Amino acid sequence: MSEESPTTIEIPSTITVKAFAEKLEKPVPEIITALLKNGFLAGINETLDFETAALIADEFGFQTLEEKIDEKRVDILNPEQLAEILKQEKEKNENLQPRPPIVTILGHVDHGKTTLLDAIRKTKVVETESGGITQNITAYQVEIKNRLITFVDTPGHQAFSQMRARGEGLADISVLIVAADDGVKSQTKEVIKNLQKDKAPMIVAINKIDKPGANVEKVKGQLADAGILLEKRGGKIPVVEISAKNKINIEELLETILLLADILKITADWKRKALGVILESHLDQRKGALATAIIKTGTLNEGDSIIAGDSTGTVRQILDFNKKRIIKAIPGSPITVVGLDNVCKSGSVLQVEESRRAARRKTRRSRLEMAGNLLNEKVSVKRINESMEEKDLPKLNIILKADAEGSLEAIKQILETIPRDEALLNILSEKVGNITETDVQLAMASGALIHGFKVMVPSSISQAAKKNGVVIKISDVIYKMVDEIKEQLSDLLEPEIIRTDLGRMKVLAIFRTEKAKMIIGGKITQGGVTKDSLLEIKRDKEIIGKGKVTQLKHGPKNIDEGKEGMECGLTYIPKDGMVKIKEGDSLIFYLEKEEKRKIK
């Protein structure tokens, strides 16, 4: 009797775990378990390539054919292509109208950037941000002399350089803030270097001019040394002396921004389909994926079909920077878009398509191409363990969840700076959104800890994690999360052994020798000895053995401590094999203490 031939199914080049399970008519957990057995970490919404899916399908008794896609290839815009489009638009388009300048304020972390933004928009950012540091990109507009200026607020701490760079690249004008009492710092020089490299228009704001120790002329000299030539000093870069705290010359700074905007002739085509840049994206419990964006050119309308990276959608709502609903967004507007099908990458280009179908066609091809790269980047559990065993270092597996793409990016950037020469940090999964059942399953399979930043843990997930011994840590300050991860890494390190030398003894007599101990007598020639001391045996200028003191006597009496000049007897227990002590040997007494080491 012949065996029944296996069922043949068609699978596309890439397929999600959920869709794959439906194809095979198998429960999702069963598919995830099979993947893990073959060394692949994958949650319910993860994408599998054809080869991986075919391997798993074979285990379940299916033959597979690759489904052919006959759609023609269409590229999705990247930031470089957007920049080229905007350049050509400025050179050739006759429908250009002025738009609000997009401005970012850059500088050293404590030179007053957030205070200046607060002074400009009359809100208390410092009080609402965790830890007093701006941790996400935000955008808003101010009005002066019946004209609008759009500000992009990027994090100031040095660890957020990628997010800052995105703000710099997006802005038409950069305001470089330098404290008059502190001068040009290393982070200031980093910003200057980036601005000079991009030939970005800038204004210098010298802040804290009313503080004791302020020296404006010294700061101007330091700026000149860094290649910033100010007006009235042989250069063309405007400079405004301000006090953000006491709101001195704030209006003058805004007027200078408008003046420079007029010189630069900042324009856009208001009639074309919108093109913009995604600043931030996160998952909202009620509204789904939300994306904060700046419209660079064109007008975005409710109902438009859009693409942002590999996300698509129909614009259900447009919210202005005050979270008020508007029906359209004009060039230069900072907005939040409701309607994307999933969280998109910060820095993605927002573009309008003819229809939702056209948008999906474009992103489908993009997703197929990207999936292979993502799968190559996602190291399987097996490969992770193999690579780490090669280095013979302890490892910490973690799963990262964050409230927004920008937060996730910042956390990863800081974690990359942790030294890896003594312990290895492994990020097995990194996503935006609340803790899910899939996260717990992956943690169980890999022994990972789950770290969440400003996300929720549903009670059912929390109970499942507790039941299965999965540790979940939630933080609302990035640096507290990083410190906790460093502490967990430090727990993997072998402790440092601190040795304290106590004294020396000259061996005068051997009283008894047994299989696993000796009783000897001698005179303490230096320092002292305690009944729990460790000892080294020195003979002919070499250390020949080690052991421990378990009993100490002076005459017939047991004692806790012997001091210099005293003759006493002791019981010696050898370490690492019996080394017999002889008369004339020297014994060196010491103590050892374990001290926890920390990864910095």
| Unique residue bearing structure tokens 């020396």 | 504
Amino acid at 495: P
In angstroms, rounded to a whole number, what is the distance separating the alpha carbons of residues 152 and 137? 7
In angstroms, rounded to a whole number, what is the distance separating the alpha carbons of residues 297 and 332? 7
The domains of the chain, with CATH numbers, are 7-66 (1.10.10), 100-265 (3.40.50.300), 270-374 (2.40.30.10), 379-490 (3.40.50.10050), 496-595 (2.40.30.10)
In angstroms, rounded to a whole number, what is the distance separating the alpha carbons of residues 25 and 13? 19
pLDDT at 74: 40
In angstroms, rounded to a whole number, what is the distance separating the alpha carbons of residues 528 and 504? 7
Helix (H) or strand (E) holding 415: helix 405-415
**How far is residue 183 from each of residues 110, 155, 188, 246, measured CA to CA in Å?**
11, 20, 9, 19
Q: What is the pTM of this model?
A: 0.58
pLDDT at 268: 92
Is residue 136 within 8 Å of residue 407, measured between CB atoms?
A: yes
DSSP-derived letter for residue 30 is H
Residues 6 or more apart whose Cβ sits within 8 Å of residue 419: 599, 600
Residue closest to 228 by CA, chosen among 200, 208, 253: 200
Give me the residues of the chain with pLDDT under 70, please. Answer: 1-5, 45, 67-75, 122-137, 154-169, 355-392
**How far is residue 507 from each of residues 480, 504, 560, 588, measured CA to CA in Å?**
55, 10, 19, 11
Question: CA angle at residue 390 from 54 to 491, to 5 degrees?
Answer: 105
pLDDT at 358: 58
Question: Could you tell me the two tokens for 45?
Answer: 């919404």
3-class DSSP assignment, residue 522: strand
Amino acid at 268: A
pLDDT at 203: 94
